[in-house]
Amino acid sequence: MSQKTIFEKILQGEIPCKPIYEDEYTLAFNDISPQAPVHVLVIPKTKIVNVAQANENDIDQMGRVLFAAKKVAELTGISQSGYRLVFNNGEHGGQTVYYMHCHVLGGRSLSWPPG
């Protein structure tokens, strides 16, 4: 059996977290190493390793993650000023936790290109 990711431990209540947003399908909480004044992670409650490994059965769940990210932007007050959504995918994409998650970043002007 593979080792649980930190997100699986959070979902199973092994690691406490204070939700910013939660529904039947997703959970959103502050990143422990914020890169912007608002830096929230949105995870699906059903594991998808990353975008590259998603399949047609994951379409609904992926859409729910994007909708939850929109809700997070509204709840954190960055919806009107603008924000960035980031999915890191694979080693060169900067993915360190192999459980798909969306970074919602905002609260300041974000430069381009990133990284």
In a domain, 25, yes or no: yes
User: What secondary structure does DSSP assign to 25-43, as a single string?
Assistant: SEEEEE-SS-SSSEEEEEE
In a domain, 28, yes or no: yes
In a domain, 114, yes or no: no
The pTM assigned to this predicted structure is 0.95
In a domain, 115, yes or no: no
Per-residue model confidence (pLDDT) at position 23: 98
Per-residue model confidence (pLDDT) at position 51: 96
d(CA 89, CA 95): 5
Residues annotated as catalytic (active site), given as ranges: 101
CATH of the domain at 27: 3.30.428.10
In a domain, 43, yes or no: yes
In a domain, 59, yes or no: yes
d(CA 94, CA 77): 27
In a domain, 113, yes or no: no
In a domain, 1, yes or no: no
Per-residue model confidence (pLDDT) at position 115: 67
Domain containing residue 17: 6-106
Task: Walk along the chain (115 residues) in steps of 10 and give the mean pLDDT of each run.
Answer: 90 96 98 97 98 97 98 98 97 96 97 83
> How many domains are there within the chain?
1
